[in-house]
Amino acid sequence: MDITGLREDYTAAVEAFPDQKPELAEAWTKLQSTLCDLFLENGADDFGGRSMFSIMLFEPDGRIAWVFHRGLEPDEAAVFCKLVKQLSEDYRFPLESETRFSQCGTTYFKED
């Protein structure tokens, strides 16, 4: 998949939610925390003290459509993809938009 082409179809979250920046920041922080917790619950402790950059693309209703990442080794990427797939089955970003939207940032995995 070409991230550049996809990003053109997804509005940046700050543009999709121009009057909800505090809520957007809180929702993104909670998603990062949820992701970290999911890793710990599934025994992926090797990520402790590490960080990775991700771009998440969302449908208007908050469903995760695509996730792109960098900063992980291939075996770590496989674990990450499996857990994101598991998360995306039930997760909905708490803000809804009239358009598809994207958010990016760095996830920091806590050390035990």
The answer to whether 58 touches 6, Cβ cutoff 8 Å, is no
Architecture of domain 3-108: 2-Layer Sandwich (3.30)
Distance (Å, whole) CA 97 – CA 91: 16
pLDDT at 35: 84
DSSP letters for 59-91: -TTS-EEEEEEES--HHHHHHHHHHHHHHHHH-
pLDDT at 112: 60
pLDDT at 30: 93
pLDDT at 107: 84
pLDDT at 74: 86
Q: Output the furthest CA–CA distance in the chain (Å, rounded).
A: 40
Residues 6+ positions from 104 with CB-CB distance below 8 Å: 53, 54, 55, 56
pLDDT along the chain (112 residues), means of 10: 75 95 95 85 74 92 92 84 90 94 88 66
pLDDT at 71: 87
Predicted structure pTM score: 0.87
